[in-house]
Amino acid sequence: AVFLAAGLVGHAHAVPVKARGPLATRIVQIMRRLRDVRRFGAVSVAPDGRSIAWTMTATRPAHGAKPAGGSTTGNPGEILQLADIDGTHVRTVRIPGAVKTCHYSSLTWSPHSRILAFLSNCNHGRKYREQLDVYEVAANAVRARRITHLRGFVHELTWVPGGSMLSFLYVKGDLHPIAAVSATKPQVGVIGRAGVEHQQLAVVPATGGTVSEITPYPVFVYEYDWSQSGNRVAYVGAPPPGRDNWWVAKLYTQTYGGPARVVLDPSTVKGSLHGLQIA
């Protein structure tokens, strides 16, 4: 069926129209062609300039992949590929037990360019298909390994300078994406108290191991950056819920394992920055 949008003053609705004959055939052909389109994304060049990685939509399950919970929806997944910087020696990364609709994001190379870390949902079926975990693959290999088992929304993966740790923003226990244009989850319980997301900066050893949230629980972290030495981090944060309080965010610094310190509060600072919002 084709849906035509009909707009009237004060309201709009969709009217289903059943296509017949040549029009129906043409629509089916277009939809099939769209499924065959290959889209490239998430390009990342290694610091030494010798390797490159990218993602690409897959028109069929990758080698050895299995459907996500028996799903046959036909939704295309992605493949992750590595190559030399001149485009030679292209190889597809493989994750043992990968589901049909894998997706990848936050491709980031280690400082020494020997390991590519990334986020993926490849080992999660239909029930947890939005759950991402941290994976690694060597620059000269094709088999990736999973180094985390997370339960919550995760993004902004990066290497801590020095290459021994990885860091990311993490909302433990809540998979709903948190962004300016993302849909909000249903509010249940006491508004403003129940179900409030706490986004913290988390770290994990590059070899795998325990995930640790290192920023204070009462501070919702929006973005962060590490010092060159990797022993200090700066971040922008505000009291949760993060969707409601970004305009009162402050700039913090913190040594690894130490207490947070406010270095800029626009509500109290003197001069031209007073009353502004941190972006």
- Given this model, what pLDDT does residue 52 score? 97
Please write down the HEC assignment for all residues of the chain: CEEEEEEECCEEEEEEECCCHHHHHHHHHHHHHHHCCCCEEEEEECCCCCEEEEEEECCCCCCCCECHHHCCCCCCCEEEEEEECCCCCCEECECCCCECCCCEEEEEECCCCCEEEEEECCCCCHHHCCCCEEEEEECCCCECEECCCCCEEEEEEEECCCCCEEEEEEEECCCCCCCCCCCCCCCCCCCCCCCCCCEEEEEEECCCCCCEECCCCCCEEEEEEECCCCCEEEEEEECCCHHHHHHHCEEEEEECCCCEEEEECCCCCCCCCCCCCCC
- Given this model, what pLDDT does residue 277 score? 80
- Given this model, what pLDDT does residue 187 score? 63
Residue 164 has pLDDT above 90, yes or no: yes
pTM metric for this prediction: 0.78
Q: Report pLDDT digits (tens) over 206-255.
A: 999 999 999 999 999 999 999 999 999 999 999 988 888 888 999 999 99
Range among 39-43, 59-63, 205-209 with highest mean pLDDT value: 205-209
Q: Report pLDDT digits (tens) over 141-160.
A: 999 999 999 999 999 999 99
* 58 or 252, greater pLDDT: 252
Give me the mean pLDDT over the 111-134 stretch.
90
